[in-house]
Amino acid sequence: MGNSLFGTDGVRGRANSYPMTAEIALRIGAAAGRYFRRDGSAAHRVVIGKDTRLSGYMFENALTAGFTSTGMNVFLLGPVPTPAVGLLTTSMRADVGVMISASHNPHHDNGIKFFGPDGFKLSDEAEAEIEALLGGDIEPAQAENIGRAKRIDDGRFRYNERIKTTLPAGLRLDGLKVLIDCANGAAYRTAPEVLWELGADVVPMGVAPDGFNINKGCGSTDTAAAAAAVVAQGCDVGICLDGDADRVMIIDETGKVADGDQIMALFAERMAAEDRLRGGVLVATVMSNLGLERFLDGRGLRLERTPVGDRYVVEAMRRGGWNLGGEQSGHIVMTDYATTGDGLLAGVQFLAAMAATGQRASALVHKFDAVPQLLKNVRYQTGHTPLESKNVQKVIAAAEVALMGKGRLLIRKSGTEPLIRVMAECEDDGLLLQVVDTVVAAVTAEI
C-alpha cells in the first residue's frame, strides 16, 4: 500500500466513508501502535484528543481498540485543541499523540492527526511506515499484554495553564473587551476560560457544540458574524478560532479581519525589535502574500517559504533553528511556546501586544497592503489527475509568462480535499482575473 491515506495533515475524509471508517481507524490505531512498540518493551502509551464532531465518539473508540490491541495504554483527553495534544504527548511521556479532527472542515468530515513523542507532527517517512503496516498482518499483543484505557479529566486545564504562562509576567488583560469565537469546536470551554482568567472582559461565540455545528457560520473560516458582533458590542478585538483551535483570525475594533500573514508580520516585527526572532527569519508557505515578503524585506528580515501545510513550516523551522512561522490561513507557530500551530496562543500574544503598547487592534494588525490575490478551487474526482494533462500544462506555462515580473502563479492539489487550488497574485486586477479564469477553465475542461 502506498502513502495514499495520509495527506498534508494526517488522514481526512467524510465520516463513515473510506478512508474515515471505524474499520480503517481501528487498523490505523493498531498499525501506529505496532510502529511505536517496535522495541517490544512494555508501558507504551498514547494520548487521544478530539474536537466536537459527532463522529468523534466512533473514531475515539475505534482508535482505542486498535492501540490497546497492540499493547498500548490509552489516555483519553476528550475535547481539547490540537496543540493541547502536542503539549500533553510530551508532558505525559507518551510515545504518540492523536487528534481526531478535520480542523476547519464541516461536521460530516473527520480526520486523524499524529504527534510523535517530541510533540511535533509525524514526518512523511513515519506516516509512510505506518501505512505500510496497514497493508499486512498487524501482530496483536498477547492476551496478558493488551493495553488499558483511561480518561484524563484535567487535560484542558493543563493546557490552559501553559497558555497563560506565555503572557509576560505582570501583564494582565484588564480593560480589554474581547470577543472569542470558538467555532463550536474543541476550544469552546478552554478559550473563554483562559481569557477570563487573564483579566479580559470576554464575549463568547460558538460555544454551544451539538456535534453538527462545528465551523458552521462561525470560526476562522466564516468571520462575518463575529465581525458584526465586535462592532455591535463595542469590543476592542475579536479572536476567531477554527474547529480544532490551531488556526486564528483577528478582527479589529472596526470589524476588519486580519489573516495569518498580517498576524505574522506583527509578531515578526515585535520579536525582531526585542532581538527574539532567530536568524531574522519568518517561515511561511508559498501561499503567503507577496506583500508580507516585501514588508519583511523592508525591515532587513527574510521570508523562508515552504510547501503548504503547517507541518512543513515546522519542519523548516526546526531545520533552520527558527522560532516563528505559519500560514496565511491562520496557523501561527511559535516554537518558543508550542510544537504546532496554536490559535489561542497566537490570540493571547496579540492581546499581550495590545496591553503592552496601549494601541488599538487596528493600529497593530494591519501591517502591510496585500498584493491582490485571487484563489479559485476546482473539485475533481479522486484518482483523476487533471494537472498532468498536456493542455493544462500548456495553459499554465502561458499564464506564468503573462505574469512574469508582475506577480506569481501557484497551482496545487489540496492535501485535505479533492480540489485543485489555482492562486495568483498581481497588482493588475484585470490580468489577475484573466490568468486565474484561464487556468480554471482549462482544468475544468480536462475534468
- Return the active site residues: 103
Q: Dihedral, CA atoms, 226, 83, 215, 416, nearest 10 degrees?
A: 130
348's grid cell? 493571547
Find how far residue 173's CA is from the centre of its chain. 26
Q: Quote the CA–CA distance of 311 and 115 in Å, as a whole number.
A: 10
Closest CA to 214 of 182, 181, 184, 248: 184
What is the phi/psi pair of residue 313, to 5°? -60, -50
What is the phi/psi pair of residue 387, to 5°? -75, -10
What is the phi/psi pair of residue 282, to 5°? -110, 130
Burial level of 433, CB count in 10 A (0-12/13-18/19+)?
middle
Residue showing cell 468571520: 223
- Mapped to the 3 state alphabet, what secondary structure does 156-203 carry? HHHHHHHHHHCCCCCCCCCCCEEEEECCCCCCCCHHHHHHHHCCCEEE
Cβ contacts of 16 within 8 Å, gap of 6 or more: 22, 55, 58
Q: Identify whether 372 is preceded by a cis peptide bond (ω within 30 of 0).
A: no
* Whether the Cβ atoms of residue 434 and residue 403 lie closer than 8 Å to each other: no
Q: Is 21 helix (H, G, I), strand (E, B) or coil?
A: coil
- Mapped to the 3 state alphabet, what secondary structure does 102-123 carry? CCCCCCCEEEEEEECCCCCECC
* Whether the Cβ atoms of residue 313 and residue 306 lie closer than 8 Å to each other: yes
Q: Quote the CA–CA distance of 343 and 82 in Å, as a whole number.
A: 10
